[in-house]
Structure 1
Amino acid sequence: MENSALLKAIIENAIDGIITIDNKGTIETINPSGCQLFEYDQSEVIGQNISMLMPPPDRDQHDNYLLNYHQTSKKSIIGTGREVTGLRKSGAVFPFRLGISEVQFSGRKIYTGFIHDLSREKHAEEKLKEYAIHLEDQVQQRTRLLNETVTALGEAKEKVSKLLEKEMELGQLKSRFVSMASHEFRTPLSAIQLSSILIEKYSGDSISPNISRHTAKIKVLVAHLTGVLNDFLSLERLEAGEFKPVLTEFDIVKFSEEITEDMQLISKQNQQIIYQHTGTSATVNLDQSLLRNAIINLISNAIKYSGENTFIEFNTEITPALVTVCIKDNGIGIPKEDQKHLFEAFFRAHNTGTIPGTGLGLNIVSRYIKLMDGQVKFTSNVNQGTSFTLSFPKQP
């Protein structure tokens, strides 16, 4: 008796609805949660056919299912769970997960249904779909704004170039274009980048592939335009003599490991950047900012001009006389006839094809290194890769 009372208390206080029917589909018991779900009193459903709680077409098919099961013993629902819809007394339908078990009791079969209301989950799913659609609209809008910005940049550059070619020397042309680009495009580019990041953040784990694809495209285009602006700004400052090296002591191993980690994030598929240090010391006395920019530029080139599934070697070495930094790739290489022009501003090797670039990176790198009394050397062969070596006198 005590066990029976306990079982009854459990059923009466269960969160999910529990209904039992006989082999003809007649409702024998229903717990309070089941009554609340279907909006009936117990007296209104007990003795009635279970089909009263089902909307069409399940209502019409239920008796046939029971008859077919009794004749063939073939189970399609019993012992498994599935999502179905229920019919409330008010006529409203709602989704729920139904689990059915068969019990032999007092020489007859009783079927028990366990009903878990899915209304909240389905409502949340619908809200999430609406939010995803809204986010995709926002992504398309941001993409359109970015394309307009790119077009405006191209049109502005062409217009300014044509105007200044007739009026000024090349130095004046670059100065005015850089000033215009910096003020007119840096702020909207930053806003576009921030918007793409916020879209991913607010989407969380439920972000759709379409939204993710669009935000990735926005980030790539913004990074490309930002890089172009940075190259022009760096060149202008170098020519104006604004860069003054600030030498400080720092650990080049930790410094290089941080760069390696950052650059690995933007590498191509299965590209690996391998960093190694040689020497008993790790302390150098150089300008961290200039050295970082130079190394990032060279590794970026190695990533850009190498294929997927390749290795990029990044080595540092300290000897009693020199500090050496070497970046080596297995990319497209530099044609012999182009190598003598490699460090000239706006020069690009003829085998770069459609790979984007301004032709300023290596010119800026060489000038950064010279500011720190260093040297830049390289070796390269077409389709066999390129190796750049930066060397600096060891400071006491």
Structure 2
Amino acid sequence: MADPLSDLWRVDTSDFQDSDSLQSILTSILRSVPDAMIVIDDSGVIMAFSLAAETLFGYKASDVVGKNINCLMTETDRVHHDQYIRNYLVTGERQIIGIGRIVEARLANGDSIPVELKIGEAAIGDRKLFTGFIRDITERQANIHRISELQAEIGNFSRLSAVGTMASAMAHELNQPLTAVANYLEAARDMLDAPSADDLAMVQEALTAAAEQSIRAGQIVRRLRDYVSRGELDLRPVDLKAVIDDAVTIAKVGIDGPLARVVVRMEDPEVRVLADRLQLRQVFANLIRNAIEALSETETPQIWIHTRHADGETAIQVRDNGPGLSEELIHSPFDAFQTTKANGMGLGLSICQTIIEAHGSTIEVSSQPGAGAAFTFTLRTAIEVTE
């Protein structure tokens, strides 16, 4: 019987006199390919398991060949994987093939680790084979998380320094007008104890002066508020997919329990947008993490990130299939200090709105009870200049 994997490999077989020689080549490849490699058939059964896969998962090839691939998955993906294959075979719609994504893998010892999964396919007669290349990204995620923590610490230190400077400036700037208001009002009060015609005229002047100083104090507060809200953006062309991938990784850090499946569907996976990379990543991380937490009790938690392009802009939507926004949030979701989380501050969506508006756009939300929530915004598409 011919080796079912032989057609999977584009190898010049003219120098091989028998199938044993070809099998030796294929076996050598399975033992030498640097990333873990697993081949399954269209029913999800494992047909080949590379040496690197043995090292990564802790199984021998003989332990898993012939078993369904879901034995290497966590509960979240295991219950849905066979259905994903059936859907693809029926509809032809690719959700991961040729695209890749980050998933959780289950090891022989029961532990789970984050891995980057890329899948290719091959047709053999009427059947399809799928080859998965798996790379452990535990260290990468740890580094990203550590960098994110350091950036947060630097950001917090900068904000605290700015708050201290601002508080000092406000105290200095507001001291004069507020002191003047108090003095004018105290003088007017004293003159009203036994007012004469002249005293009433002076009271009127004192109240007018107090009103002027109160207006001046208001102008100082508005000027400081405008300065804080304006901020500084480092706008430049950024790879949107890379930003989304980083944000998905960051959003999942520290989440206990099953994680929602994040599906990224980009009209152009190589699109670049004009944005401040760090701030845009913060927007995606906030929206994705909010969705993950909202989906904690959803039976089949999924998050979709869609992008499409028109008229020099890239429209972006982050949507989930959760319970939708609560009554507290549905009417004014972006107001600061609104939260239904026990440990939340209610600033995540407000920060998202501030960042998106600083990019010259707006963020909108639509939600129906039991049908999830969708956040939509646009960014300017970066125009590549060619010489």
TM-score of the two chains, using structure 2 as the length reference: 0.38
Bigger Cα Rg: 1
